[in-house]
Amino acid sequence: MGVAITPATNAVGTSLVGFTRLRAAVRRGDWDEAAAEAMDSRWAAQTGRAIEIATMLRATSG
């Protein structure tokens, strides 16, 4: 779950408010979808760590 906190910290402070679909995917335990939602965000375009974080999210599902 720490991986999901990174985009929130970078983009909106200390919560995942701006990541509605990402949060829903995490709640379902759908880590591949969470990674896809992370990459389909303004945050992904603004940070160099997006690919690294998405890779970690996908690895969580395995």
pLDDT tens across 7-29, in order? 544 544 445 677 889 889 988 98
| Parent domain of 41 | 2-60
d(CA 56, CA 22): 14
Contact 19, 37 (CB under 8 A): yes
Computed over every residue of the chain, the mean pLDDT equals 78
Does residue 57 or residue 17 have the better pLDDT?
Answer: 57
d(CA 22, CA 15): 12
Please list, in sequence order, all residues whose beta carbon lies within 8 angstroms of the beta carbon of residue 42, skipping any fewer than 6 positions away.
11
How many domains does the chain divide into? 1
Backbone CA torsion sign across 28, 1, 61, 47: positive
